[in-house]
Structure 1
């Protein structure tokens, strides 16, 4: 059964680039079908950047057109909650190669479709929301190796004797009244509770989790964790991804942790971080400052950054690094230091004369960025960046920088 008829689809395609607000005003008294068509145009416009193009994470790949981009959406929330095409392709790369996978929380179906695009993969996707199943069926009707089932996936798994290479699950992170939840045990389903059931039907399980979760606590809760990925996209940590294997008994010291973005990846264990030597350095004008990305800040391999990239930390808790060399591949931002100014009243008073405008930030500093901006009396600017920082010896400095 088709979700929308051909006339509906033609109308959407004709107006897909029109201004949605103008369309709504023009068709305020139109039929429910036209109002739904306008909503579909709105969803598609919002989804364009998220689903139409994808890029391999970890660096080294060009952006390409997405072959499994959904065209029809049940709600605006379904667009928001679905994986982007880039992240879905990363999920597919994690499980590849495989013959069979069960997606227990299909949702809009982007992850299932990405995995079904792998050579030789047979994907069974289960979703308890019948409306989501209808839309996924419409979006992916041409993917023959993707089977969609409208059911409670936990009950379905309890009744079946089927075995899979992998199970993928993205538990719902909203409670019964729509509030966000983060703890594994508060999500639906509770992955820790049903983990033994999943591992009787698959040797490997991939779990998508909230980026708010503590990594060590997640490893302890899920017990069989082979690897935790911290997935960053467009400057934000999007998710934790736990690879669980039946034959692994995990502990937080030896479990592999990988921070990954579209441009780089960084893998380590807590044991390696504990064994790494501390290395500190004083900043100087003309040198380079390196600011770790959000995924690296979440992963916390702070001593290993010094070891692997030959940089010096400013302070154990400042988490900024300096080097006289221009280093490619550092997982974060790079700035050129223009001046290093003591945080003292005589320098603060004349700061605005030399730097009347700058973006202001602080790291391990005795006041907030807003308070520092007020003291310096500078206007907002993206050209110059000033960071209030604390150095290893305890002194506070203002670093004036320009982004490379």
Structure 2
């Protein structure tokens, strides 16, 4: 069967794959996991069910975790855990905003964030209560030569109570309750970082808390002490996560909101910093569609920078609730999608079809009494092509469809 690549994990657990197992995973990386299990009898001497699970998880990770996916020796958790873990891009971003001699990761898990952030520290302590998960992390860190990470299979808060300290402390609280339902309040996550804030800040002067993008930023800000800033992270077209930074030396005051739309290397492509006072006081003008149309990135919308966009980029809104913007001249560095307006039509396919070739268009609705799929069916349009239809409501309550194309 070949040499088994293994390491001792907590409680003496042994883990790893034989050369034959790694070859099977490589050869079937694009296969359907269910089909492989049905054909298990054809692969003598292999635990096909186990390997099919690895293949399914690696398929989820191919784009999300390119460095880990490229390493044949790593053990992946079930596919659902891979879906829920940080991407390499967002983990690299976190690593860029923390540094020091020591880091404590109190929530462990798969260890993606811990691995990348550990590069910015002399030593890192990883805590995970489930021994099997901690053993897998220890094994993976060894294969990745992350020698500065110490794996602890145990309760992190107990270690903090006993005096373990660091420059930074990281937490990614579980975002599901006992019934496996998603939660959107910080107090409903495990561990309760808000309830244990005093202990966390006693153990480290800087705290980084990752949460779901579903969390209410302003509600969470009321639950947390010493909040310095909130990073709203966008990657590709989605808002991926929120990062709350606590600072022991920071008095409770207005916190900064930092929108960061990052590339695959975790580097910001677009960034915008503001606070709630600026948003409240920003002046907004309204206009009918001009030469260009702008759709903010999902991270910008999550951050609530609706009026700030107008002030910062010299834009006007189409309507108070539409969250679409316009200008006469193109704004090159807008944090979102930009379009040249080709036409403004009534919501009538006979008029719209005069401005789009063929039967393809990308449809978006903003503050409009129909969903994109409903309009696509009604107008008999296929998804795709080079034309973008924005069905929306203007400030005077007129319903329109704006036909846009990507600016040259």
TM-score, reference length from structure 2? 0.86
- Whether the 8 Å CA contact 2:30–2:59 is kept in 1: the answer is no
Q: Quickly say closer, same or farther: Cα 1:26–1:206, change in 2 above 3 A.
A: same
Question: How much has 1:41 moved relative to structure 2?
Answer: 2.9
2:234 to 228, 232, 241: 232
Aligned Cα root-mean-square deviation (Å):
2.6
Alignment of 1:70-149 (within 5 A): 71-96=74-99, 98-118=100-120, 120-141=121-142, 142-149=145-152
Counterpart in 2 of 1:218? 220
Alignment deviations for residues 46-93 of structure 1 (CA, whole Å, 9 cap, x no partner): 21211115xxxxxxxxxxx99999821132222122211111111111
Work out whether 1:386 is the aligned partner of 2:389.
yes
User: What are the ranges of 5 or more consecutive residues in structure 1 without an aligned counterpart?
Assistant: 54-64
Q: Quickly say closer, same or farther: Cα 1:70–1:187, change in 2 above 3 A.
A: farther
User: What are the ranges of 5 or more consecutive residues in structure 2 without an aligned counterpart?
Assistant: 1-7, 9-13, 263-268
**SS state of the match for residue 140, structure 1?**
helix
Q: Quickly say closer, same or farther: Cα 1:136–1:9, change in 2 above 3 A.
A: farther
Q: For residues 5 and 105 of structure 1, what CA distance do their matches in structure 2 show?
A: 26
Counterpart in 2 of 1:306? 310
- Whether the 8 Å CA contact 1:74–1:131 is kept in 2: the answer is no
2:31 to 19, 24, 32: 19
Alignment deviations for residues 18-57 of structure 1 (CA, whole Å, 9 cap, x no partner): 624454343247556343233223322321211115xxxx
Counterpart in 1 of 2:320? 316
Counterpart in 2 of 1:187? 189
- Whether the 8 Å CA contact 1:352–1:377 is kept in 2: the answer is no
Q: For residues 36 and 249 of structure 1, what CA distance do their matches in structure 2 show?
A: 51
Q: For residues 35 and 372 of structure 1, what CA distance do their matches in structure 2 show?
A: 44
1:289 to 288, 293, 299: 293
2:61 to 47, 55, 63: 47
TM-score, reference length from structure 1? 0.86
Aligned residues: 383
Q: For residues 93 and 168 of structure 1, what CA distance do their matches in structure 2 show?
A: 14
**SS state of the match for residue 167, structure 1?**
strand
- Whether the 8 Å CA contact 2:29–2:58 is kept in 1: the answer is no
2:338 to 324, 334, 337: 334
Question: How much has 1:374 moved relative to structure 2?
Answer: 5.6
Q: Quickly say closer, same or farther: Cα 1:39–1:67, change in 2 above 3 A.
A: closer
**SS state of the match for residue 89, structure 1?**
helix
Work out whether 1:276 is the aligned partner of 2:282.
yes
